[in-house]
Amino acid sequence: MKTKQLGNSDLEVSVVGVGCMMFGSMCDQETTTSIINTALDEGVNFFDTANIYGAPPGTSEQFVGKALGDRRKDIILTTKFGAGSGGRGGSVEGGGTRDYIMSCIEKSLQDLGTDYVDLYQYHFPDTDTPAEETLRALEDLVQQGKTRYIGCSNMTGAQLQEANDAADAAGTSKYVSAQNWYSLLTRGIEDDLVPVAEKANVSIIPYFPLESGLLTGKYRKGQADPEGSRLAKWGGAFKTDEKMDQVEALIAYAESIGRSMLDLAMAGLTNRSFVGSVIAGVTKPEQIRSNVAAGNVELTDEQLAEIDRICK
């Protein structure tokens, strides 16, 4: 498994990570443990969860902690704070305040069964709380050894710049990563967030890289979604006529160069210099093996350009 340095940190992350959102909801402890064992066998070292994942919230962290056990020291573990219920409602009220952050880290560390995380991520920005207050609280966690580095998620380019300026003024640690929705089909951050991140050496951590399965190749235009699939349940923003037209074009191009749709979807991100680790939610061990194989694919500049032409 190829690795990359995450932003300005000394963390070397596998270019394919494990998104742990399904653990504790769609995956029980046994399945979670099997997935994590497979990931470790495949050379994956980056595991991304959040305090709201699972049913009830926190179950994902508990399952991950139990599955890792003594191997926790061998991996890069990240969790998040500051999201509303289910992560779909944006920030929670007061999610960037010092008191909230301090209570969240203690609960997450307890649930994960560890005394530190490698990366603590601000899940959704709380626009009512000054960036400096949030950063000072996170700096205290760094100084206390409860997190090695800090990251952000779902920020715009302007919000990341504001945070960088606030960190400079306050003399605190800066975010080393920015986790946002990014795939071959959802690319708005390329014109907004990415330029700011590249200038500050902040790595992008894409979530929804497979568009909830749309970019695996098993969904075709004019055909019914597989019964019980995540896309059949969620659909919505993932499955639009425009995206389905792009999917069909990508499938045709993948076949023309002897690659799979999954190869293009994963390698089309891992081959970009500003991307750190690509996290896809998984529910089966075999999905990890497929994602790792696809993420290790090397695409030429010409192939990336053709993918961009199709998708832009």
* Residue numbers annotated as active site: 53
Q: Which of 6, 1, 67 is nearest to 204 (CA)?
A: 6
Tokens 């580095």: give the residue.
Answer: 149
**Angle in degrees, CA 262, 263, 268, rounded to 5:** 105
| Cβ burial, residue 74 (10 Å; 0-12/13-18/19+) | exposed
- Residue 182, CA atoms < 13 Å, CB-side half-sphere: 30
203-207 sheet: strands from edge to edge: 203-207, 175-181, 147-153, 117-122, 76-81, 46-48, 16-19, 278-281
Helices (H), the chain: 29-41, 59-68, 98-112, 131-143, 157-170, 193-200, 230-234, 241-256, 261-270, 285-295, 301-311
159 contacts 122 by C-beta, under 8 angstroms: no
Gap between the Cα atoms of 49 and 18, Å rounded: 9
